[in-house]
Amino acid sequence: MDIKRVLVADAVDAACTELLKKNSIEVDCKYKLPKAQLIAEIKNYDALIVRSDTKVTADVIKAATNLKVIGRAGAGVDNIDVKAATDNKVVVLNTPGGNAISACELTCALITNLARNVTAASASLKAGRWDRKLYAGHELSGKTLAIIGLGRIGKEVAIRMQAWGMTTIGYDPIITAEQAKEFNVEYLPLEQLWPRADYITVHTPLIPATRNLINNAALDVCKKGVRIINVARGGIVNEADVLDALKSGQCGGAAIDVFEQEPPTNPVTLELIAHEKVVATPHLGASTAEAQVRVAVEVSEQIIALTGKNAQYTAAPGIINRSVLENN
């Protein structure tokens, strides 16, 4: 694949551009381009690198007459119209392992935060109160953690929370029960998973099958007081339904790092964030120095691999629409 010019449309670690330039690929960094300007300029590039801010819509792709690759420095590709890219024979790739540890560690931190009311207790103490009884929590040991999505992140979460003494159950349509058993997760269909969980964490992409996956119907069959964690994608957890469950006591707490609208302005979402039993963070799953370097390097390595010019880089494991390559 002939890739000579790359547009980096969102800020990524300098390791990305350095590696591309080292392999004789010209790089332009133009951040936060208005959509009209992106459409006007995209025809001049063979590849586009984005994070989550830039929306690569069908009209952007249609204008990209020379575009061969869209690289997502991160995991989720819901800001990219993959169908339009496939129809226009543009490869879409992500960096599936680059932020796995960072997202996993944030998930584990949020689980322990919910168990021990850390955020609320800290805010109370800073406000001059000493409320030990009010913020008494409970142990994680002996509790059941349900993990929906048993890929890289879900697996790492399972391993770490097992060390806390949690029982781990999970569901993922892509892997088998035997594969889940290899890292001590009991594989269950969703209808059997909901009523057993003390905590539920989601680690799936946002696709039609996962949109509003955690909703009133699911929450109603959970244990009273179940706690919800979402460090995956906004839209997987129905925010209005979780808010209702918090108000009724059916949900005992929620830790949410991602929202359907970012930054959130929807009144329901803002009420959810403000709820006393919610720990909310501004999409920090991949926000570590290590993850940012890792995804920057991984996206550039895969683009270089597609050129076939450097024997050191031959694999592109993050390709989403591999049929584009197979049919060309």
* CA distances in angstroms from 226 to 67, 194, 197, listed in the order given: 47, 9, 7
Based on the domain organization, do 238 and 313 belong to the same domain?
no
**Predicted local distance difference test score (pLDDT) of residue 302:** 95
Of the residues 116, 138, 160, 283, only one is catalytic, namely: 283
Based on the domain organization, do 77 and 195 belong to the same domain?
no
Question: Which residue reads 């207790």 in tokens?
Answer: 121
Based on the domain organization, do 57 and 107 belong to the same domain?
no
233 carries an active-site annotation: yes
Predicted TM-score (pTM) of the model is 0.88
Based on the domain organization, do 124 and 78 belong to the same domain?
no
Q: Residue-wise pLDDT tens for the chain (328 aa)?
A: 999 999 999 999 999 999 999 999 999 999 999 999 999 999 999 999 999 899 999 999 999 999 999 999 998 898 999 999 999 999 999 997 899 999 999 999 999 999 999 999 999 999 999 999 999 999 999 999 999 999 999 999 999 999 999 999 999 999 999 999 999 999 999 999 999 999 999 999 999 999 999 999 999 999 999 999 999 999 999 999 999 999 999 999 999 999 999 999 999 999 999 999 999 999 999 999 999 999 999 999 999 999 998 888 888 889 999 899 877 6
168 vs 143: CA distance, rounded Å? 9
252 vs 259: CA distance, rounded Å? 19
Based on the domain organization, do 143 and 248 belong to the same domain?
yes
Based on the domain organization, do 195 and 307 belong to the same domain?
no
Based on the domain organization, do 82 and 129 belong to the same domain?
no
Of the residues 262, 276, 290, 322, only one is catalytic, namely: 262
| Structural domain of 155 | 99-280
Q: What is the CATH number of the domain that holds 79?
A: 3.40.50.720
203 vs 236: CA distance, rounded Å? 9
The angle that helices 239-248 and 267-274 make with each other, rounded to 10 degrees, is: 40
262 carries an active-site annotation: yes
Count of domains forming the chain: 2
Q: Residue 74 in contact with residue 98, Cβ under 8 Å?
A: yes
R_g (Cα) of the chain, nearest Å? 21
Report the candidate in 155, 163, 111, 158 with the shortest Cα–Cα distance to residue 137: 111
Of the residues 51, 72, 227, 233, only one is catalytic, namely: 233
